[in-house]
Structure 1
């Protein structure tokens, strides 16, 4: 078959000459021959499908190193697995983008609906817990495993689960996390063990829906705390009144966010019991 000049190959593959040179330098798409005298690159017709695969992978933002691994895979199954991994990564990025858009729409709404906040006295509570020191990126996967372990140890226990999240988790990206279910006599099995959560005064609000924009509700609780001259006094508590363990309908999820605060006097709009009017 007649060799193709780099210009001809460029027109056939919709890859610019500059891009083809870069792929050659990266070892992704090496010309069939290079004239030793002129340095001109020549390609074979059977390299067109490979060039098209590279083009599509790069359109999906697959890094060059990952493209190389895909091309070097020993069989179609291995190549398919590598592509599937990247597609999963893209889907996760898309979910994060959609979540950011929802948060921005909520934040930029001309008159966002106010979040009702109440101050609630919570007594010391005995719970069955699983806890660990974690980085922010590890919390979700760890939570799923920890909650599954709690459910297995306490299969018929009523009452919503909850979590306690160290301030350092938000401030420096790593901190102590504890998930729990309320029970007077907690077992000791696997990672599950009894813990007594101390009594606390909480500024509480309910986040409605999935957790993609939960930071907006956090911010609204924080603003309320500041506006009422209160001081945060400990790790944040969350209570999962309704969540993915209860229903697949994210719109039905309800998460209570509780900011521990110093002892407070009644404030405007709040009764002596601590509830907002």
Structure 2
């Protein structure tokens, strides 16, 4: 193939404002293959009309977008610019949610590391960046499903299990309170719980019948959650993400210890609003521990 009219990798890199090293990487990823590679010496050559694609890749990289996500955009942009724009919007929405969740964790850790946690031990209930309060709870009948799960599988399992239980609640007199998830042991990248999804319902006898009909597949049970007191802090949808949520659990634990209270049961997340319609900064969840004097 003649190379007349083609640009060497150095000339193309200068026009695209990219390094030759980046161009070789994008070639390996299939993002920006050269128009021609000399079989004898391996030199790469590019067409001038590839500059626009190269600059788009470079701009997307400035958003810290992974190369695989960039490929999803540049592969469709010439055929469907609107679709490419939607993919960019979806990525940026995810990034903003991640930044929002990390912001609280960073603020909490700054205060902890500096020893200047605002409001620590204050009478107003603040601890670091979290406001901790207590609430008395009444006994409630709950449908439950339990599973050993690692943290990367947890969000999908919570959504699926609570969905099954909320559907089952229709046969049990309806839902009578906010659904919640109890952690009987740590759920992390190294520990698999178990976790227990819970939905409060009205009719104990009907709940026993429904649970028995489910069989062992979902490990469905019924129990009565006793009356008690919870120490809790309210967090946003962004703050629920792992590992940021760990700061909220730790803040409540330290608040409890500072006041000489006892933790009497496993920690939990109580979801009091619709997850799907909530924005990153909307309060969605209480991180709570059962306590006693």
TM-score normalised to structure 2 length: 0.65
User: Distance in 1 between the 2:167 and 2:283 partners?
Assistant: 25
How far 1:169 moved relative to its partner?
A: 1.3
Residue 187 of structure 2 aligns to a residue whose secondary structure is helix
Residue 99 of structure 1: how far off its partner (Å): 1.3
Match of 1:146 among 156, 161, 173: 161
Does structure 1 retain, via aligned residues, the 8 Å contact 2:35–2:45? yes
Between the aligned partners of 1:89 and 1:30, the Cα distance in structure 2 is: 27
**Kept after mapping to 2: 8 A contact 1:163/1:238:** yes
The 5 A counterparts of 1:12-91 are 12-24=15-27, 28-34=32-38, 36=40, 40-64=43-67, 76=79, 84=87, 88-91=90-93
Rounded Cα–Cα distance in structure 2 between residues aligned with 1:253 and 1:26? 40
1:179 corresponds, among 164, 187, 197, to 197
| Cα RMSD, aligned residues only | 4.2
Q: Distance in 2 between matches of 1:36 and 1:170?
A: 52
Distance 1:17 1:95, change over 3 A: same
For residue 4 of structure 1, what is the aligned residue in structure 2?
7
Q: Which residue of 2 aligns with 1:210?
A: 236
Answer yes or no: is the 8 Å Cα contact 2:135–2:231 preserved in 1: no
- Tell me, yes or no, if structure 1 residue 257 matches structure 2 residue 257: no
CA contact (8 A) 2:237 2:278 kept: no
Number of aligned residue pairs: give it: 256
2:273 is aligned, of 215, 240, 243, to 243
Q: Is the 8 A contact 1:117 1:221 kept in 2?
A: no
Distance 1:174 1:253 in 2: 24
Q: Which residue of structure 2 lines up, in the alignment, with residue 166 of structure 1?
A: 184
* 1:163-218 CA-partner distances (Å, limit 9, x unpaired): 2112231583421121222332312354484322565865x223234244454442
Contact 1:23 1:30 in 2 (8 A): no
Q: Does 1:220 align with 2:251?
A: yes
Higher Cα Rg, which structure = 1
Unaligned stretches of 5+ residues in structure 2: 112-116, 121-125, 240-244
Q: Deviations over 1:56-83 (max 9, x none)?
A: 443344445666677778x947xx58x9
- In structure 1, list runs of 5 or more residues that go unmatched: 267-277
Deviation at 1:232, TM superposition (A): 4.7
Name the structure 2 match of 1:269: none
Query: Quick check: 1:35–1:41 contact (8 Å CA) kept in 2?
Result: no
Distance 1:254 1:246 in 2: 13
